[in-house]
Amino acid sequence: MEAHDGMSAKIVQEAGFRGVWASGLTTSAALGLRDSNEASWTQVLDVLEYMADATTLPILVDGDTGHGNFNNVRRFVRKLGERGIAGVCIEDKLFPKTNSFLGEAQPLADVAEFCGRIKAGKDSQTDDDFVLVARVEALISGHSMEEALRRAEAYHAAGADAILIHSKKSTAEEIFAFTERWGNRAPVVIVPTMYYSTPTELFRQAGISTIIWANHLMRSSIAAMRETAQRIHEDESLVRVEGSVATVKDIFRITGNAELEEAERRYLPAK
């Protein structure tokens, strides 16, 4: 489940999910930026540090294109390791990236060059359990299923732990066509933002390993924040919003004030 800061990471954990997707789109959006590598990779790391502190869940980071070539991937993966991040997903496009749902026929990375990014990432992990997911953009960019499979195979051979096959179709047909021919050679990850009406059970039956619900906490917070701001602006009063927003007490609870009170009893001199 998507998160974009410490608070949303906590909410993902509270809801019972088993992992956090640190989305590039929504982490950028939370900073008021476009999903075009406008935030520097160190600014992304800073956000990830807050997220990692906020949750005990594994975090899969959207590493975009890896922020450059193999050398940038190496450094990025090392720094993720220092922050206890569980894995990274890199996509076979060029820096600076453009969100997959914008425009048509975005240029793809050369396969051999992208395999170098994958190998460099895997060689730089500091924890044996660190996961590198290789994201295939061939279908999104208008290439054939053969090209998607050729790329997935090459990325798997280069050491990717899983393949994210991305699609912007409104049905999951091409996802199922891919999984049928891929045959679970490596775990498959999907992002059903556009083909959201397909029942999850069908993805399970197709052997898909992981589903990323990629942006829905950001989108729900935009809707909620917009409504609250408009109401307060119109009414010049809090009366209409008080019943529908989270309480201040809830903020104290989520951010762990009870722990701080307990620590104060342990560490501050008794009065």
Which residues carry out catalysis? 35
Count of chain residues binding ligand SPV (CB under 6 A): 11
Residues 93-109 as b or e (16 or more Cβ within 10 Å = b): bbeebbebeeeeebebb
Map residues 189-228 to x or -, x wherever contact with ligand SPV holds by CB under 6 A.
--x-x--------------------xx-------------
18, two tokens: 């088993």
Q: How far apart are CA 123 and CA 78, in angstroms?
A: 10
Q: Is residue 160 within 8 Å of 188, Cβ to Cβ?
A: no
Q: How far apart are CA 41 and CA 80, in angstroms?
A: 11
Determine the interface stretch with ligand SPV among 9-17, 21-29, 74-82, 109-117 (rule: CB under 6 A).
21-29
**What residue 221 binds from ligand SPV, Mg ion, none (CB within 5 to 8 A, per partner kind)?**
none
**What residue 121 binds from Mg ion, ligand SPV, none (CB within 5 to 8 A, per partner kind)?**
none
Q: How far apart are CA 84 and CA 57, in angstroms?
A: 10
Determine the interface stretch with ligand SPV among 20-28, 78-86, 109-117, 223-231 (rule: CB under 6 A).
20-28
Map residues 57-76 to x or -, x wherever contact with ligand SPV holds by CB under 6 A.
-----x--------------
Residue 271 Cα to chain centre, angstroms: 47
Radius of gyration for the alpha carbons in the chain, expressed in angstroms and rounded: 20
**62 part of the interface to Mg ion, by CB under 5 A:** yes
195, two tokens: 């083909």
Binding site for ligand SPV (CB under 6 A): 23-25, 35, 62, 99-100, 191, 193, 214-215
| Interacting residues with Mg ion (CB under 5 A) | 24-25, 62
